[in-house]
Amino acid sequence: MTLLSLVDLDRELLVFLNSIHNHFFDTVMWLLSAKDIWIPLYLIIIYYFFNKVEKKTAIWVLLACVVCIVLCDQISSSIFKPLFERWRPSRDPILGDIVHIVHGKRGGKFGFVSSHAANVFGLTVFASMLFKKRWFTISMLFWAVAVSYSRIYLAVHFPGDVICGGILGALCGLLMYKICNRFLNIDVYKKTNLSYYYIVYAVIFISILACAKVM
């Protein structure tokens, strides 16, 4: 399969997925894509970085997590997007007037790769490898996929933008975890009880669905 045929397939898949929409999911995907709504989730993860762990270790782990997110964001936004100059679906000269746009939000000019996907998958891989708990990993993967899919639904990224962004994020997350594992004693995180995380996680998702239902 040639690169051109892959691009065509990517465009066709975007049009198909973006065509499946209604008012309820407009709100759900809009909220999933918003950054502020996930602040409680980030804070509870940071809390667990410091929970029953030596302060010095926790600070280095938090710093590694921040570096991971910055790497994901800057590589995707400052290197890939200006390098490849691939139009977002919402800005594409052909697709821009065809795709479903929510609240008039079209994003910037270029979209390869998705910074949202890179960031959420970077955090997901880093945190999942740190805590090594099945349900935590599953919940984080579900969150990362949901946020990434919302970018396709909102027509601000092609599926290929999201997939490649996710791969970039996963590699950055893996790299930062390997660095932490090389220089720090992080096995203690495997023993962490993450009950508060699951509560916050459930509350956020239920709130999103409730808001979409009443709006």
CB contact at 8 A, 86 and 93: no
Residue range 55-61: mean pLDDT, rounded: 92
Poorest-confidence range of 7-11, 66-70, 186-190?
186-190
State the pLDDT at residue 4: 66
Q: What is the mean pLDDT of residues 108-135?
A: 96
With residue 28 as reference, give the H or E element that holds it. Answer: helix 23-33
R_g of the chain, CA atoms, integer Å: 18
Mean pLDDT (the chain) is 94
* pLDDT given for residue 105 in this prediction: 92
- Structure tokens given for 105: 């939000």
The residue-averaged pLDDT of 99-111 equals 94
Cα angle at 121 between 125 and 72, to 5 degrees?
105
| pLDDT tens figures, 125-183 | 999 999 999 999 999 999 999 999 999 999 999 999 999 999 999 999 999 999 999 98
Banded pLDDT at 3 (limits 50, 70, 90): low
Burial grade of 62 (CB within 10 A; 0-12, 13-18, 19 or more): middle
Does the CA dihedral 92-96-99-104 come out positive or negative? Answer: positive
212 φ/ψ angles, rounded to the nearest 5 degrees: -65, -30
Rounded Cα–Cα distance for residues 111 and 88 (Å): 5
Sorted by where each starts, the structural domains of the chain and their CATH numbers stand as 3-214 (1.20.144)
